[in-house]
Amino acid sequence: MNKCVFLDRDGVLNEDRIDYVYRVEDFNILPGVPEGLKKLKEAGYLLIVVTNQAGIAKGLYTREDVAKCHTYLQEACGNVIDAFYYCPHHPDYTSRSLRRKPDSLMLEKAIARYNIDVSQSWMFGDAPRDMHAGKRVGVRTVHITHHRPEMPVGDQQAGDLLEATRYVLEAA
């Protein structure tokens, strides 16, 4: 079985924006991300991005726009990401979907396809919905946040992906 780090995209791998990130020219990879992903890959983790992309349902951008951003991210990070899963749905615009976090169908599909051992796997995310999706499938969670809440949302907290990576590698 394989160990995996599931990764939310916006706010974890790239700078999040209020007005959605769907153009390569606005896709700013956060500091330390390529280095952190490389370290996780070298330690034997599969790297799988799981991201809600409600802007598709809202008609703000297309699946092709998302694919271009993912290609850019993959190339900028040395082609270490094993898979990208995204949910194009939003319950107020198209339909409800079990793929949309905090539900966990994106993670469940990846677990089945890549024979992932959840006891050795993690979810990195910047929102409670990411932590909930990870917990639903039984992986440990790291909440990436600059503002430490009084009540922790994830199993661990980190200021960025590189700090989360260090924690996971030390815990292994």
Please tell me what DSSP assigns to residue 23. Answer: S
d(CA 90, CA 141): 24
Active-site residue flag, 10: yes
Active-site residue flag, 92: no
Q: Which of 8, 65, 126, 130 is the catalytic position?
A: 8
d(CA 108, CA 116): 9
Element holding 116 (H helix, E strand): none
d(CA 15, CA 3): 26
CA-closest candidate to residue 123, choices 34, 7, 16: 7
Q: Which of 10, 126, 130, 160 is the catalytic position?
A: 10
Other CB atoms within 10 A of residue 3 CB: 19
Structure tokens given for 20: 């959605």
Collapse the DSSP code of 78 into the 3-class scheme (helix H, G, I; strand E, B; otherwise coil) and give the result: coil
Catalytic residues: 8, 10
